[in-house]
């Protein structure tokens, strides 16, 4: 397939896959109503967990990750890491701005994480332990997400340097752009972090917005 067709195809398929609101579908199927009326109103796994259903939250996390990971894997096998990144990035955009929900979706952390192993293993090796480490220490999911996102591209570059691997600048710059997008979707959280008012996970002192 011609390159001028396959890249737009990857973007469209990725966006449509990313637009599937698994958190909303799973909670509705479980009889929990509209997840957008719970907690922060977010459709992601963190807000699903606030329903008390850890199984649904885990399923949402996995599915939100896989919808980016699978399109990145599929198109990556078809046309390399660059094409996989386009598909995965489009899935990220679709999750944040799903056409089915009036372009009001999630914040994209799980979807971003899901594409990393299939477009840049060095980035995944950096982001995963950083997220778990920061969250374990602080219990603030937004801080963990923002810290991991900030380190994705420079961390991947550093790992490649240490391993004497050639840099794929298309992928590195694409990941950096997605990391900036994560900061945009978390702009309200970032404001509270700077003020010291961002609630820790499990706290009921303030309305969550993760």
The pLDDT tens digits for 87-124 are 999 999 999 999 989 898 899 999 999 999 999 999 99
Of residues 162 and 210, which shows the higher confidence score? 162
Cβ neighbourhood burial of 95 (10 Å; 0-12, 13-18, 19+): buried
Q: Look at residues 109, 85, 97, 79 and name the one whose alpha carbon lies nearest to residue 3.
A: 79
- Share of residues in the chain with pLDDT > 90 (%): 77
Q: Which two tokens stand for residue 41?
A: 């109103």
Q: What pLDDT sits at residue 199?
A: 85
Mean pLDDT of the chain: 91
| Dihedral sign from CA coordinates of 16, 51, 132, 200 | positive
Q: What pLDDT sits at residue 5?
A: 84
Q: How far apart are the C-alpha atoms of 159 and 129, rounded to whole Å?
A: 14
Query: What does the pLDDT average to over 152-178?
Result: 96
Query: What does the pLDDT average to over 4-17?
Result: 93
| Mean pLDDT lowest among 97-106, 122-131, 147-156 | 97-106
Q: How far apart are the C-alpha atoms of 149 and 145, rounded to whole Å?
A: 6
Q: Is residue 206 over pLDDT 50?
A: no
Q: How confident is the model at residue 204 (pLDDT cuts 50, 70, 90)?
A: low
Q: Which two tokens stand for residue 7?
A: 């890249």
189, 209 contact by CB (below 8 A): yes
Kindly compute the dihedral angle of the four CA atoms of residues 179, 183, 189, 195, in this order, to the nearest 10 degrees: 110
Question: What is the DSSP secondary structure assignment for residue 44, as one 8-state letter?
Answer: S
Q: Is residue 197 over pLDDT 80?
A: yes
Q: How far apart are the C-alpha atoms of 57 and 32, rounded to whole Å?
A: 13
Q: How far apart are the C-alpha atoms of 175 and 142, rounded to whole Å?
A: 18
Q: What pLDDT sits at residue 205?
A: 47
Q: What pLDDT sits at residue 36?
A: 87
Query: What does the pLDDT average to over 62-75?
Result: 96
Cβ-proximal residues to 149 (8 Å cutoff; 6+ apart), any chain: 109, 112, 127, 178, 179, 182, 183
18, 91 contact by CB (below 8 A): yes
Q: Model pTM?
A: 0.90
């Amino acid at each position: 397939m011609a390159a001028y067709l396959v890249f737009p195809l990857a973007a469209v398929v990725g966006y449509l896959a990313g637009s599937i609101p698994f958190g909303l579908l799973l909670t509705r199927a479980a009889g929990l109503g509209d997840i957008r009326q719970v907690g922060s109103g977010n459709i992601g796994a963190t807000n699903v967990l606030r329903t008390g259903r850890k199984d649904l939250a885990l399923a949402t996390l996995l599915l939100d990750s896989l919808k980016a990971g699978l399109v990145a894997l599929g198109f990556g096998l078809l046309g390399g890491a660059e094409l996989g990144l386009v598909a995965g990035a489009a899935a990220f955009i679709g999750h944040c701005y799903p056409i089915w929900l009036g372009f009001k979706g999630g914040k994209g952390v799980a979807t971003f994480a899901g594409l990393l192993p299939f477009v840049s293993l060095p980035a995944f090796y950096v982001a995963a332990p950083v997220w778990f480490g920061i969250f374990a220490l602080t219990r603030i999911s937004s801080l963990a997400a923002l810290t991991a996102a900030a380190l994705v591209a420079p961390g991947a570059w550093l790992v490649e340097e240490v391993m004497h691997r050639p840099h794929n600048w298309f992928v590195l710059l694409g990941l950096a752009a997605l990391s900036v997008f994560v900061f945009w979707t978390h702009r309200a959280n970032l404001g509270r972090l700077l003020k010291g008012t961002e609630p820790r996970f499990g706290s009921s002192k303030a309305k969550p917005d993760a």
